[in-house]
């Protein structure tokens, strides 16, 4: 079971989504393409290629960077 949060810009346009599953959170752009993953257990964010992006939850940063 998963839960999804819509991310909007200051003009209320959808710029991405954050999907929460029991084991991780997944950042997606407005076309639902995966941008990255956050593992609460490890407390690391990884990009779409599973390369380390940073310590902590940086999913919003991945979404806003992809939005331009």
Cβ count within 10 A of residue 62: 25
Q: For the whole model, what pTM was predicted?
A: 0.91
Read off the pLDDT band of 67 (50, 70, 90): confident
Structure token pair of residue 10: 């200051």
So what's the pLDDT on residue 60?
97
What distance in Å separates the CA atoms of residue 8 and residue 12, rounded to the nearest whole number? 5
CB-count exposure of residue 30 (10 Å: 0-12, 13-18, 19+): middle
So what's the pLDDT on residue 68?
79
Per-residue pLDDT reduced to its tens digit, 1-57: 679 999 999 999 999 999 999 999 999 999 999 999 999 999 999 999 999 999 999
């Amino acid at each position: 079971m998963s839960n999804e949060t819509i991310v909007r810009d200051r003009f209320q346009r959808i710029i991405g989504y954050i999907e929460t599953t029991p084991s991780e959170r997944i950042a997606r752009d407005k076309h639902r393409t995966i941008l990255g993953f956050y593992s609460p257990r490890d407390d690391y964010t990884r990009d779409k290629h599973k390369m380390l992006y940073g310590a902590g939850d940086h999913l919003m940063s991945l979404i806003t960077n992809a939005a331009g």
